A and B are shown apart, each in its own frame.
Chain A
Amino acid sequence: GDSVTQMEGPVTLSEEAFLTINCTYTATGYPSLFWYVQYPGEGLQLLLKATKADDKGSNKGFEATYRKETTSFHLEKGSVQVSDSAVYFCALSDLRTTSGTYKYIFGTGTRLKVLA
């Protein structure tokens, strides 16, 4: 079945450091890929998405490129801030052939802590 694998956290960085959070997926169809962010005490919010191979999603300085050849969607940011401290979830959405609806599969989440 479909699955999403993310690097285990926590990831601890100093402010202005470069961030990479790895995400790989397995899917039977042609999924769309997402990164969601969860700030403390809140629900998940969409950070960025990509719907087909070679698409690059970007938002708030974060980027991720849909790489079909390596089945990856790694999240990157050139210079992190303390306010980026949160849990980041990689997710895919693929078509349920039985019902014709889209299913979502989430990774386990990676906690990022940025120190001033």
Chain B
Amino acid sequence: EAQVTQNPRYLITVTGKKLTVTCSQNMNHEYMSWYRQDPGLGLRQIYYSMNVEVTDKGDVPEGYKVSRKEKRNFPLILESPSPNQTSLYFCASRPRGGAPNEQFFGPGTRLTVL
């Protein structure tokens, strides 16, 4: 089954404790993105990647890191989480193409930073 998986689905942590949220897709997509979803703000892009070893900042990259060492994986790293990073996070992927294509979303990771 074609899908985007994220782990963990739920995470409660404390300020300053480094964490990684994993994202994996089995559709051989070139493009992958991370979004955060907050009430009243919709989805905002954190980082995106156009292919292996190619990443760039989205609209709200502060406090986050990413890496793309393999095509299928795109982990999101919070080196020193803070309470304002409490949010619902989504990973998404889509194929490369000349026209904008549908994005496929993971199920989400709900993060709480105390």
Contact = CB atoms under 8 A, between A and B. Distances in A.
Nearest to A91: B43
Given A44-B90, A101-B50, A51 B42 contact: no
A102 interface: yes
Interface residues of B, number: 23
A71 interface: no
Interface string A44-81: 11100101000000000000000000000000000000
B40 A32 contact: no
A102 B100 contact: yes
B43 A89 contact: yes
A106 B107 contact: no
Given A32-B100, A45-B105, A101 B41 contact: no
Interface in A64-116: 89, 93-94, 99, 101-104, 106-109
B105 A44 contact: yes
B107 A99 contact: no
Contacts of B92: 43-44
Given A89-B43, A107-B42, A46 B108 contact: no
Contacts of A42: 107-108
B99 A104 contact: no
Given A32-B100, A44-B90, A93-B100, A108 B42 contact: yes
Given A46-B102, A93-B100, A108 B108 contact: no
Nearest to A92: B100
A43 B31 contact: no
A34 B41 CA distance: 18
Interface centre among B4, B42, B50, B102 (most CB of A within 10 A): B42
A41 B107 contact: yes
18 contacts: A41-B107, A42-B107, A42-B108, A43-B4, A43-B107, A44-B43, A49-B102, A51-B99, A94-B100, A99-B56, A101-B48, A104-B45, A104-B103, A106-B35, A106-B43, A106-B44, A108-B41, A109-B42
Which 8 residue pairs spanning A and B have beta carbons closest together? A43-B105, A93-B100, A108-B42, A106-B43, A102-B100, A46-B102, A44-B105, A32-B100
